[in-house]
Amino acid sequence: MSDVRTRNAVLFDFGGVLTTSVVTVFEELGTELAGDARLLLRLLSRDAESSALLVAHEEGRIGEREFEDGFAARLRAHGAVVEGPGLVRRIQERLLPDPDTVALTAKLRAAGYRVGLLSNSLGDHCYDGFDLPAMFDAVTVSGDIGVRKPSRRAYAIACERLGVPPEEAVMVDDLPQNIAAAERLGIAGVVHRDAATTEAELARLLGPPATGA
Protein backbone atom coordinates (compact mmCIF):
# COMPACT_ATOMS: atom_id res chain seq x y z
CA MET A 1 0.00 0.00 0.00
CA SER A 2 3.05 2.30 0.07
CA ASP A 3 2.34 3.34 -3.53
CA VAL A 4 -1.11 4.74 -2.76
CA ARG A 5 -1.41 8.49 -3.54
CA THR A 6 2.35 9.00 -3.92
CA ARG A 7 2.83 9.35 -7.69
CA ASN A 8 2.53 12.40 -9.94
CA ALA A 9 3.45 11.24 -13.47
CA VAL A 10 2.16 8.59 -15.87
CA LEU A 11 3.82 6.70 -18.71
CA PHE A 12 1.52 5.16 -21.31
CA ASP A 13 2.26 2.31 -23.67
CA PHE A 14 0.95 2.69 -27.23
CA GLY A 15 -0.31 -0.52 -28.88
CA GLY A 16 -3.09 -2.12 -26.87
CA VAL A 17 -3.44 0.96 -24.63
CA LEU A 18 -3.93 3.97 -26.89
CA THR A 19 -5.19 1.56 -29.53
CA THR A 20 -7.37 -1.50 -29.71
CA SER A 21 -5.89 -4.83 -28.66
CA VAL A 22 -2.65 -5.96 -30.31
CA VAL A 23 -3.38 -9.53 -29.24
CA THR A 24 -6.71 -9.44 -31.04
CA VAL A 25 -5.05 -8.11 -34.19
CA PHE A 26 -2.46 -10.90 -34.16
CA GLU A 27 -5.19 -13.48 -33.62
CA GLU A 28 -7.26 -12.12 -36.50
CA LEU A 29 -4.27 -12.08 -38.84
CA GLY A 30 -3.17 -15.57 -37.82
CA THR A 31 -6.63 -16.88 -38.60
CA GLU A 32 -6.63 -15.07 -41.95
CA LEU A 33 -3.18 -16.30 -43.00
CA ALA A 34 -3.14 -19.85 -41.68
CA GLY A 35 -6.39 -20.67 -39.92
CA ASP A 36 -4.47 -20.51 -36.62
CA ALA A 37 -5.37 -17.63 -34.33
CA ARG A 38 -2.34 -18.16 -32.09
CA LEU A 39 0.29 -18.54 -34.82
CA LEU A 40 1.77 -15.03 -34.77
CA LEU A 41 1.79 -14.82 -30.99
CA ARG A 42 3.30 -18.27 -30.68
CA LEU A 43 6.12 -17.53 -33.11
CA LEU A 44 6.96 -14.14 -31.62
CA SER A 45 7.12 -15.57 -28.11
CA ARG A 46 8.54 -19.07 -28.66
CA ASP A 47 10.32 -19.20 -32.02
CA ALA A 48 13.89 -17.99 -31.54
CA GLU A 49 14.31 -16.61 -35.06
CA SER A 50 11.00 -14.73 -35.00
CA SER A 51 11.70 -13.32 -31.54
CA ALA A 52 15.17 -12.17 -32.59
CA LEU A 53 13.71 -10.39 -35.61
CA LEU A 54 11.17 -8.58 -33.46
CA VAL A 55 13.75 -7.50 -30.90
CA ALA A 56 16.15 -6.28 -33.61
CA HIS A 57 13.36 -4.29 -35.26
CA GLU A 58 12.01 -2.80 -32.04
CA GLU A 59 15.54 -1.74 -31.08
CA GLY A 60 16.06 -0.08 -34.46
CA ARG A 61 18.78 -2.45 -35.66
CA ILE A 62 16.78 -3.63 -38.68
CA GLY A 63 14.15 -1.79 -40.68
CA GLU A 64 10.54 -2.58 -41.39
CA ARG A 65 11.23 -4.37 -44.68
CA GLU A 66 13.90 -6.66 -43.23
CA PHE A 67 11.61 -7.57 -40.35
CA GLU A 68 8.69 -8.19 -42.72
CA ASP A 69 10.67 -10.46 -45.02
CA GLY A 70 12.19 -12.44 -42.18
CA PHE A 71 8.96 -12.88 -40.25
CA ALA A 72 7.00 -13.77 -43.38
CA ALA A 73 9.52 -16.54 -44.03
CA ARG A 74 8.96 -17.90 -40.53
CA LEU A 75 5.19 -17.71 -41.02
CA ARG A 76 5.44 -19.59 -44.32
CA ALA A 77 7.52 -22.26 -42.61
CA HIS A 78 4.53 -22.80 -40.32
CA GLY A 79 1.89 -22.99 -43.03
CA ALA A 80 0.92 -19.37 -43.59
CA VAL A 81 0.35 -17.95 -47.05
CA VAL A 82 2.02 -14.55 -46.87
CA GLU A 83 4.69 -12.36 -48.45
CA GLY A 84 6.81 -9.86 -46.58
CA PRO A 85 5.93 -6.53 -48.20
CA GLY A 86 2.92 -4.98 -46.50
CA LEU A 87 2.86 -7.40 -43.56
CA VAL A 88 3.42 -4.70 -40.95
CA ARG A 89 0.84 -2.47 -42.61
CA ARG A 90 -1.71 -5.30 -42.33
CA ILE A 91 -1.08 -5.28 -38.59
CA GLN A 92 -1.16 -1.51 -38.23
CA GLU A 93 -4.35 -0.95 -40.19
CA ARG A 94 -6.24 -3.12 -37.70
CA LEU A 95 -5.01 -1.11 -34.71
CA LEU A 96 -7.60 1.60 -34.19
CA PRO A 97 -7.32 4.51 -31.74
CA ASP A 98 -9.03 4.00 -28.39
CA PRO A 99 -10.71 7.40 -27.89
CA ASP A 100 -11.39 6.80 -24.20
CA THR A 101 -7.73 6.21 -23.33
CA VAL A 102 -6.61 9.06 -25.57
CA ALA A 103 -9.04 11.29 -23.69
CA LEU A 104 -7.63 10.03 -20.39
CA THR A 105 -4.12 11.20 -21.32
CA ALA A 106 -5.50 14.66 -22.06
CA LYS A 107 -7.48 14.71 -18.82
CA LEU A 108 -4.40 13.87 -16.78
CA ARG A 109 -2.31 16.57 -18.45
CA ALA A 110 -5.07 19.13 -17.96
CA ALA A 111 -5.05 18.26 -14.25
CA GLY A 112 -1.33 19.06 -14.10
CA TYR A 113 0.25 15.60 -14.21
CA ARG A 114 3.30 14.85 -16.31
CA VAL A 115 2.29 12.36 -19.03
CA GLY A 116 4.68 10.47 -21.29
CA LEU A 117 4.72 7.74 -23.91
CA LEU A 118 6.97 4.67 -23.68
CA SER A 119 6.45 2.40 -26.67
CA ASN A 120 8.14 -0.50 -28.43
CA SER A 121 7.97 0.53 -32.07
CA LEU A 122 6.73 -1.64 -34.93
CA GLY A 123 7.07 -0.41 -38.50
CA ASP A 124 7.86 2.92 -40.09
CA HIS A 125 4.34 4.30 -39.69
CA CYS A 126 3.37 2.93 -36.29
CA TYR A 127 2.14 6.26 -34.95
CA ASP A 128 0.39 7.68 -38.00
CA GLY A 129 -2.76 9.52 -36.99
CA PHE A 130 -1.44 10.38 -33.51
CA ASP A 131 0.09 13.80 -32.79
CA LEU A 132 2.41 12.46 -30.11
CA PRO A 133 4.23 15.74 -29.32
CA ALA A 134 0.87 17.40 -28.72
CA MET A 135 -0.41 14.51 -26.60
CA PHE A 136 2.58 13.97 -24.32
CA ASP A 137 5.15 15.87 -22.32
CA ALA A 138 7.81 13.37 -23.44
CA VAL A 139 7.91 10.63 -26.07
CA THR A 140 10.22 7.60 -25.81
CA VAL A 141 10.19 5.06 -28.64
CA SER A 142 12.35 1.95 -28.57
CA GLY A 143 13.58 2.26 -32.15
CA ASP A 144 14.90 5.75 -31.40
CA ILE A 145 16.75 4.88 -28.18
CA GLY A 146 18.04 1.44 -29.20
CA VAL A 147 16.50 -0.42 -26.27
CA ARG A 148 13.04 -1.88 -25.71
CA LYS A 149 10.73 -2.83 -22.88
CA PRO A 150 11.18 -4.78 -20.67
CA SER A 151 14.75 -3.45 -20.40
CA ARG A 152 15.28 -1.36 -17.28
CA ARG A 153 17.12 1.16 -19.42
CA ALA A 154 14.00 1.87 -21.50
CA TYR A 155 12.01 2.80 -18.40
CA ALA A 156 14.88 4.84 -17.00
CA ILE A 157 15.20 6.87 -20.21
CA ALA A 158 11.45 7.47 -20.30
CA CYS A 159 11.50 8.78 -16.74
CA GLU A 160 14.52 10.96 -17.47
CA ARG A 161 12.77 12.49 -20.47
CA LEU A 162 9.63 13.06 -18.45
CA GLY A 163 11.69 14.74 -15.73
CA VAL A 164 10.64 12.49 -12.84
CA PRO A 165 12.33 9.75 -10.81
CA PRO A 166 10.90 6.24 -11.20
CA GLU A 167 9.44 6.42 -7.69
CA GLU A 168 7.08 9.20 -8.83
CA ALA A 169 5.84 7.48 -11.99
CA VAL A 170 3.13 4.99 -12.96
CA MET A 171 3.39 2.79 -16.07
CA VAL A 172 0.23 1.84 -17.95
CA ASP A 173 0.77 -1.18 -20.22
CA ASP A 174 -1.37 -4.03 -21.53
CA LEU A 175 1.36 -6.65 -21.00
CA PRO A 176 1.87 -7.85 -17.40
CA GLN A 177 5.54 -8.64 -18.03
CA ASN A 178 6.20 -5.02 -18.94
CA ILE A 179 4.54 -3.88 -15.73
CA ALA A 180 6.60 -6.34 -13.70
CA ALA A 181 9.78 -4.94 -15.28
CA ALA A 182 8.73 -1.36 -14.53
CA GLU A 183 8.05 -2.22 -10.90
CA ARG A 184 11.57 -3.60 -10.52
CA LEU A 185 12.83 -0.08 -11.21
CA GLY A 186 10.46 1.45 -8.66
CA ILE A 187 7.71 2.50 -11.08
CA ALA A 188 4.16 1.61 -10.05
CA GLY A 189 2.16 -0.29 -12.64
CA VAL A 190 -1.35 -0.61 -14.04
CA VAL A 191 -2.16 -3.50 -16.37
CA HIS A 192 -4.47 -1.86 -18.88
CA ARG A 193 -7.72 -3.51 -19.92
CA ASP A 194 -9.94 -0.51 -20.55
CA ALA A 195 -9.86 3.23 -19.92
CA ALA A 196 -12.35 3.25 -17.05
CA THR A 197 -10.48 0.62 -15.04
CA THR A 198 -7.14 2.28 -15.70
CA GLU A 199 -8.50 5.67 -14.62
CA ALA A 200 -9.76 4.15 -11.37
CA GLU A 201 -6.36 2.55 -10.69
CA LEU A 202 -4.57 5.80 -11.42
CA ALA A 203 -6.87 7.64 -9.02
CA ARG A 204 -5.72 5.21 -6.33
CA LEU A 205 -2.02 5.70 -7.11
CA LEU A 206 -1.69 9.36 -8.03
CA GLY A 207 -1.22 12.10 -5.49
CA PRO A 208 -1.30 15.83 -6.20
CA PRO A 209 0.44 16.78 -9.47
CA ALA A 210 3.91 18.23 -9.11
CA THR A 211 2.70 21.49 -10.64
CA GLY A 212 0.22 21.90 -7.82
CA ALA A 213 -2.68 21.99 -10.29
CA quadruple 2, 156, 141, 62: dihedral sign? negative
**Residues 125 and 30 placed together within one structural domain of the fold:** no
Q: DSSP for 107-148?
A: HHHHTT-EEEEEE---STTTTTT--HHHH-SEEEEHHHHT--
Q: What is the pLDDT of residue 3?
A: 54
Domain-embedded: residue 212:
no
Which whole-number Å values give the CA distances from 115 to 51, 106, 143, 199, in the listed order? 30, 9, 20, 13
Whole-number mean pLDDT of the chain? Answer: 95
**Residue 69, domain member (yes or no):** yes
Residues 60 and 115 occupy one common structural domain: no
What was the pLDDT predicted at 177? 96
**Regions of the chain where pLDDT drops below 50:** 1, 212-213
Q: Is residue 1 part of a domain?
A: no
Q: What is the pLDDT of residue 209?
A: 87
Q: Which of 92, 116, 137 is the last residue of a domain?
A: 92
Domain endpoint, select from 44, 72, 92 = 92
Structural domain of 54:
22-92
- The pLDDT tens digits for 152-192 are 999 999 999 999 999 999 999 999 999 999 999 999 999 99
Tell me, yes or no, whether 184 lies in a domain. Answer: yes
The CATH number that applies at residue 13 is: 3.40.50.1000
Please indicate, yes or no, whether residues 80 and 138 belong to a single structural domain of this protein.
Answer: no
Q: Looking at the structure, tell me whether residues 102 and 65 fall in a common domain.
A: no
Same domain, 16 and 26: no
Q: How far apart are CA 188 and CA 176, in angstroms?
A: 12
Residues 64, 123: contact at Cβ < 8 Å? yes
> Is 88 inside a domain boundary?
yes
Residue 212, pLDDT score: 46
Same domain? For 164 and 110 the reply is yes
